[in-house]
Chain A
Amino acid sequence: NAGVTQTPKFQVLKTGQSMTLQCAQDMNHNSMYWYRQDPGMGLRLIYYSASEGTTDKGEVPNGYNVSRLNKREFSLRLESAAPSQTSVYFCASSDPGRAAYNEQFFGPGTRLTVL
């Protein structure tokens, strides 16, 4: 099993450009998450999807949109990138209902730089 995969690994954008970060999991998990990690800030939740067909805002949703394409895939879109969105983005998945607690499994991350 690959676990959680993310593409691309690295990306450089110019201000105003758009892009979509892709995430897929092969663990049959119901819940998926997008975080951003900035130096000294830990992880902050951008959006999450508790189950297929639902999405909800997290702590820092402004400037982002998400799509839960199916049970496996959860994408994050930046419509008009800004330098403040320079960060490392992590996707995670979990199955809190089946596991009885919310242990999350993380992808390797996407390093995004917005110039």
Chain B
Amino acid sequence: GAVVSQHPSWVICKSGTSVKIECRSLDFQATTMFWYRQFPKQSLMLMATSNEGSKATYEQGVEKDKFLINHASLTLSTLTVTSAHPEDSSFYICSVSAVWGINTEAFFGQGTRLTVV
């Protein structure tokens, strides 16, 4: 299946600073990638759809100016959390969907744990 790698795996930043998270599709060219956020003991919440070469599509309630998404190549999407605050502390996960055999599977990165202090 597709291999998706996120970097960094964890990051601690000061309130008010910006943090960039990278999502790489190592062996698959992805025109579309997805970004999720997951709070402790909760489910994954889709934040936005990252589209290669065009603007991301954000889910309702997600601030596009707060969470900047760039998908400049078929193998890399980045999520930048701008002016981070403690309430932005969460587990951020990206995914790529690919046809694998007879199924369409979503392949997820290992996630990035962001802690804002």
- Chains A and B bind each other: no
Could you tell me which B residues sit within 8 Å of A by CB distance?
none
A residues with CB within 8 A of B: none
